[in-house]
Amino acid sequence: MVRTRTDMARAPRTDKRTVRFRTAVIFVIIAVLGVFAYLRMSDRDKAPDQRMELAQCLTDKGAKFYGAYWCPHCAAQKKLFGKALSKVTYIECAIPGDSTAQTQACKDAGITGYPTWVFADGSRLNGEVSLVDLAEKTGCPYPGASDANANADANVNAAPQKLETGGTTIKAENGNVNAPPPGPRIDTNGSR
């Protein structure tokens, strides 16, 4: 096959067009990603981190978080707070180099497991505790807990409630549920 001058002249133009097209597509993709990243960062700056407010409130209310550096559940609890952990009263119980030893502060507080939350009233929560549960326990504001805090006071003096569930009666009193012991359920037609 013999190439003519016209064929040779077209080949570089086609390659140049392809290169220009690819460059344009890459430029558009980078621009779109840049705009998306900018919008995400600007949204983050506008809204205050509610975990910071919760962490400060927990500290103000006397809540203390006891943990150990080697404890995976403590690491998960810390991760829930993110940067807000700096506002939480955290007591490290582990002594570096000896995973069985405990600091005197933790011995004095009677800490036997990690993580442990100790509150101003002396009550405790052991294990990983959700931020909503911490907010409800202390009365601190946090999304998902605000309604629970308002309803908690209203429900303390509420009359016991009964819930009928297909032949089983469950009695709820002051937030506690008393259900009958498990067993086979017998329908009115006699089947199990």
Q: Quick: pLDDT tens for 39-86.
A: 877 666 555 689 999 999 999 999 999 999 999 999 999 999 999 999
Distance CA 157, CA 10 (A): 88
Alpha-carbon distance 27 to 102, whole Å?
A: 57
- Residue boundaries of the structural domains of the chain: 50-149
For 159-173, the pLDDT digits (tens) are 444 434 444 444 434
Cα 58-106-97 angle, rounded to 5 deg: 115
- Supply the pLDDT for residue 169: 40
Domain 50-149 coded CATH 3.30.450.40: no
pTM score of the predicted model:
0.54
Asked if 111 contacts 102 with a C-beta cutoff of 8 angstroms, the reply is yes
77 exposure class (CB count in 10 Å sphere: 0-12, 13-18, 19+): buried
| Burial of residue 69, with CB atoms counted within 10 A of its CB: 0-12 exposed, 13-18 middle, 19 or more buried | middle
Give the model's pLDDT for residue 147.
52
Cα–Cα separations (whole angstroms), residue 6 to 10, 16, 19, 92: 6, 16, 20, 79
pLDDT of 130 above 70? yes
DSSP 19: H
pLDDT digits (tens, 9 = 90+) for 35-50: 888 887 766 655 568 9
